[in-house]
Amino acid sequence: MKKMNVYDVYIDDGREALKVTVPAESQKAAEKYCYGNGEIIRTRLNPNIQNIDLDCLADTLRRSGWGQLEIDIITRALAQVGLDR
């Protein structure tokens, strides 16, 4: 799998402006994900989140009642795309 980054895509749907935060392999892929929801005004790399503390996430999910299989799937998927801290 390719490494993903997190992008903010700003969209004008004709009624309001929206910001959608998207994990994607490239800026073009992030825009393609949002295509059809309005005019894309701007796309930029999100400066605040490019990785996730998987130990903290797993602990939070566990305390919320998630099962270990689900936690493993979520954390492994994030690690595979390079969004782990």
Span 25-64, pLDDT tens digits: 999 999 999 999 999 999 999 988 889 999 999 999 999 9
What pLDDT was estimated at residue 21? 96
In this prediction the pTM is 0.82
* Helix (H) / strand (E) containing 7: strand 5-12
